[in-house]
Structure 1
Amino acid sequence: MPSRTQPPLESNEDTSQYNLLRDYSVSKNGFLPEQEPLRRLPSSYYNPWETVLDDLPSLIRGKTIRKAIDGIQLLSTGKLHTEEEWRRAYVVLSFLAHAYIWGGDNASEVLPPAISIPFLQVSEHLKIPPVATYAALNLWNFSCSGSDFEDLDKLKALHTFSGTDDESWFFMVSVAMEAQGAYIIPVMFQALEAVQHRNYPMIVRALDEFVVCIGKLAKLLDRMDEKCDPMIFYYHIRPFLAGSKNMGAAGLPTGVLYQDGDGALSWKQLRGGSNGQSSLIQFFDIVLGVEHTSSGGNATSPKKATGFHEEIRSYMPIAHKEFLEYLSRMGSLKDFVNEPGESEGQRQLRQSFRNATNALGDFRNRHMQIVTRYIIIPSRNRSQIPMVNLASASSQPNQGQQKELTGTGGTALIPFLKQTRDETYLAGIQTQQSVVQ
């Protein structure tokens, strides 16, 4: 049976949009899977991977994780059959790879073939980079004690690096937000389709509901500090989420060396897992018409032809990436809002649109406040830690000058977040300006 999303605003619409969403792997849970992810690979052949993953936190604490992984024999991916199994393998290898890279006193610039070879093969099958992405850490890494993935208190991460409830909670806040925001996807998609019929009431109702949805997401985000301590996050969780792009100060000046099945070696500089890889947030931007220009590099880096938000889609599950590209070709609500005219319907539309962009901008401002508590403030604690990783590199001054903090995705953290927030507000301001003109 095909998966179905929640009913759109107009209940008499046919099921074509549901079929389209299903084709792009958008389930009733949004960009989360229809069912819980696999908790273990069914074939005992993969027990060597699963056994190390079972003991990951203790192996990391004992600084024996690399020895344990070096003892794993090279396993074939030939015993992976369903897509759920391929995704499970991707999660497992993501955790093992990042534990190996960041689990010693210094970052490892080389992945052992027993990890890199199957990791490259699994990544090629799924069309997603061989690094711990948002999908590996969040979308495909949770269990739920009930059937409602929106209930944060019933969610638990399948795997963590630290073995702490703090890390599980950190991942599960994002999972709950993805599930909570799922219902707005068909609503906003239908609003885009309503543009061709110039159905102002439907679009206004969709935008008003969007504001409500963002409010619900903000409440979930505000629950972060209930069970996630900033110092535990900064020193024991965040370092393992880092990728290999812009991580020279953390010990990876040229990235990480991978070996493929033919013995060929290649250096890869990949972005680590971050909420910037959430398809839900990019969905909001595309539908509203919020334009982002940042390259996502360091503050001093020149802008590139491909912006960060477009580049980062390649780190999403391929079907979700294609869905966002499909939406981009449809145009945005901002294009319709900016059409000339002063009817009552247009005035209501513009007000609802400004409310929506302001809500999304406020949400991003809330996210910046979280970043301040969990990254900026801890980074000012000059505690010396033995490992060379993202935490130690970020907490050290740069030759007496303020060092620009780098996010796990390789971005210049605060400048990037500020620009993204400001560009969200700007979409609504531009609408106001177009009305005046």
Structure 2
Amino acid sequence: MQQAIPQRAFLPETDPLLQLPSAFSAWDETAAELPRLLAAGRAREMLARLPRLDPQALETAGERERALGILSLFGHAAVHESWRQASATTVPASIAVPWVSLALAMRRFPVLTYASHGQNNWKRIDPNGPIQLGNLAVLRNFFGGLDENWFVATHVEIEAQAAPLVRSVVTGQQAVATKDQSSLLRALRSIADTLDAMHATLVRVRENCDPYIFFTRVQPFMQGMKNVVYEGATEYAGVPQNFAGGSGAQSTLMPLLDAALGVRHAGDALITYLHELRRYMPHAHQEFLTQVEQGHSIRDYLITLHDRSLNEQYNRCIEGLGRFREEHLAISVEYIQKPARQQASLRGEHGTGGSPFVGYLEKHRKETFANLLQ
């Protein structure tokens, strides 16, 4: 079956909604107030007083996506507000009941995912301008401020930049099927050029996001739910739940590129964990990734073809993916590992999703470069 090609990669095809219907104004208003509630140490208390609204009244996909993002924000604020002492072990029923109901209806989990925190959490300042830094504002945040907003906006720009890459993955696999070498050459060149642009944006995270601020004021709220009871949610019957926290590893881009370029990683704990994180992607993203994995192998075709020009462009793709992984490794060390060590953090050296990372990321970087064609 031929893949439908996403025009905005894994960002929503229309910009995220800026507000919910008036019946849900309490959620919109509290989301806007949340940074001040957290600063005062009153967030959980006030969130527990929210009216219990029924998400079944939401009519459109955009409304449901915005509501899920807001409820995820509320849930993590309620649980992790006092994380320096110990995170709470329950989500108040005012949040938990609609959150669980809505998440399961959307085939998602009641936890803050990359899709809610990044891919569906932005607006364009100039509605007719590009989706890029300088024209992006974050819709929902915890404490807020430049560092948190810049961190999210950087990821949104990378996702937006990936649009031609995703289209080229599909056309590249179709070119292999039809043995259209000219089309495959254009697709590989597009993938390599896009990876260069994505890398240039990833480097920019340092411009306005300080590692100390990120580690102490942003990352704590991105932790997952560990043995947390969703009060009043009959779907879980009072049984504590465990969900991974929001992480860039829940983006579909890296596994998509591995699949398209034939990059294989030897089994390790991170591979197992990353495969588990696929379940946190929106269902349509999971399906698209599966289709690409089942598509024609670009790498195998090039190995049999021995075409110098095609191999050069393929190697540019591998080098670009490897450089992106190198930069991600450097940022992970700078923004999580070093601050954790400096502060002797009890949380340990873990990414926001909850996995030990440094050794595995280095291994995956080496495995990527090992795919260069001679």
Instruction: Give the TM-score band, short-chain normalised.
Output: over 0.9
Q: Which moved more, 1:91-100 or 1:160-169?
A: 160-169
Would you say 1:256 and 2:237 are equivalent positions?
no
Provide, for residues 211-233 of structure 1, a one-character-per-residue CA deviation record: whole Å limited to 9, x for no partner: 21111111111111111111111
Structure 1 segment 24-423 matched on structure 2, within 5 A: 26=6, 28-42=7-21, 44-104=22-82, 105-146=85-126, 147-244=128-225, 252=226, 255-259=227-231, 260-261=233-234, 264-293=237-266, 296=269, 307-339=272-304, 342=306, 346-382=307-343, 392-394=345-347, 405-423=349-367
Q: What is the CA distance between 1:334 and its match in structure 2? A: 1.6
Q: How many Å separate the matches in 1 of 2:315 and 2:265? A: 17
Q: Which residue identity lines up with residue 256 of structure 2 in the other structure?
A: F
Unaligned runs of 5+ in 2: none
Provide, for residues 112-157 of structure 1, a one-character-per-residue CA deviation record: whole Å limited to 9, x for no partner: 2221121111111211111100110011110111234432111011
In the superposition, relative to structure 1, how do residues 219 and 159 fare at CA in structure 2: closer, same or farther (>3 Å)? same
**What secondary structure sits across from 1:20 in the alignment?**
coil
Q: Which residue identity lines up with residue 298 of structure 2 in the other structure?
A: L
CA contact (8 A) 2:302 2:310 kept: yes
CA contact (8 A) 2:125 2:135 kept: yes
- Aligned residues with identical type, % of pairs: 30
CA contact (8 A) 1:192 1:333 kept: yes
CA contact (8 A) 1:296 1:410 kept: no
**What secondary structure sits across from 1:101 in the alignment?**
helix
Q: TM-score, normalised by structure 2?
A: 0.93
In the superposition, relative to structure 1, how do residues 272 and 212 fare at CA in structure 2: closer, same or farther (>3 Å)? same
In the superposition, relative to structure 1, how do residues 337 and 375 fare at CA in structure 2: closer, same or farther (>3 Å)? same
Q: How many Å separate the matches in 1 of 2:332 and 2:234? A: 40
Provide, for residues 55-75 of structure 1, a one-character-per-residue CA deviation record: whole Å limited to 9, x for no partner: 111111111111111112322
Q: How many Å separate the matches in 1 of 2:235 and 2:289? A: 34
**What secondary structure sits across from 1:257 in the alignment?**
strand
CA contact (8 A) 1:294 1:416 kept: no
In the superposition, relative to structure 1, how do residues 204 and 275 fare at CA in structure 2: closer, same or farther (>3 Å)? same
CA contact (8 A) 1:234 1:374 kept: yes
Provide, for residues 352-375 of structure 1, a one-character-per-residue CA deviation record: whole Å limited to 9, x for no partner: 222211210111101112222222
CA contact (8 A) 1:180 1:216 kept: yes
Q: What is the CA distance between 1:296 and its match in structure 2? A: 4.5
CA contact (8 A) 2:174 2:296 kept: no
Q: How many Å separate the matches in 1 of 2:278 and 2:297? A: 18
Q: What is the CA distance between 1:293 and its match in structure 2? A: 4.5
Provide, for residues 64-120 of structure 1, a one-character-per-residue CA deviation record: whole Å limited to 9, x for no partner: 111111112322112111111110111001100000110024201111222112111
**What secondary structure sits across from 2:294 in the alignment?**
helix
Q: How many Å separate the matches in 1 of 2:255 and 2:49? A: 41
**What secondary structure sits across from 2:240 in the alignment?**
strand
In the superposition, relative to structure 1, how do residues 310 and 149 fare at CA in structure 2: closer, same or farther (>3 Å)? farther
Q: Which residue identity lines up with residue 117 of structure 2 in the other structure?
A: L
Q: What is the CA distance between 1:349 and its match in structure 2? A: 2.5
Q: Which moved more, 1:93-102 or 1:208-217?
A: 208-217
CA contact (8 A) 1:150 1:177 kept: no
Q: Which moved more, 1:177-186 or 1:371-380?
A: 371-380
Q: How many Å separate the matches in 1 of 2:230 and 2:264? A: 35
Q: Which residue identity lines up with residue 263 of structure 2 in the other structure?
A: V
In the superposition, relative to structure 1, how do residues 309 and 334 fare at CA in structure 2: closer, same or farther (>3 Å)? farther
CA contact (8 A) 2:11 2:160 kept: yes
Q: What is the CA distance between 1:171 and its match in structure 2? A: 0.3
In the superposition, relative to structure 1, how do residues 295 and 117 fare at CA in structure 2: closer, same or farther (>3 Å)? farther
Q: Which residue identity lines up with residue 420 of structure 1 in the other structure?
A: H
Q: What is the CA distance between 1:294 and its match in structure 2? A: 5.1
CA RMSD after TM alignment: 2.1
Provide, for residues 331-390 of structure 1, a one-character-per-residue CA deviation record: whole Å limited to 9, x for no partner: 431222233x54xxx23323322221121011110111222222222223227xxxxxxx
Q: How many Å separate the matches in 2 of 1:126 and 1:78? A: 11
**What secondary structure sits across from 1:427 in the alignment?**
coil
**What secondary structure sits across from 2:15 in the alignment?**
coil
In the superposition, relative to structure 1, how do residues 81 and 261 fare at CA in structure 2: closer, same or farther (>3 Å)? farther
Q: Which residue identity lines up with residue 267 of structure 1 in the other structure?
A: P
**What secondary structure sits across from 2:134 in the alignment?**
helix
CA contact (8 A) 1:149 1:179 kept: no
**What secondary structure sits across from 1:407 in the alignment?**
coil
Unaligned runs of 5+ in 1: 1-15, 245-251, 298-302, 384-391, 395-402, 433-437
CA contact (8 A) 2:9 2:160 kept: yes
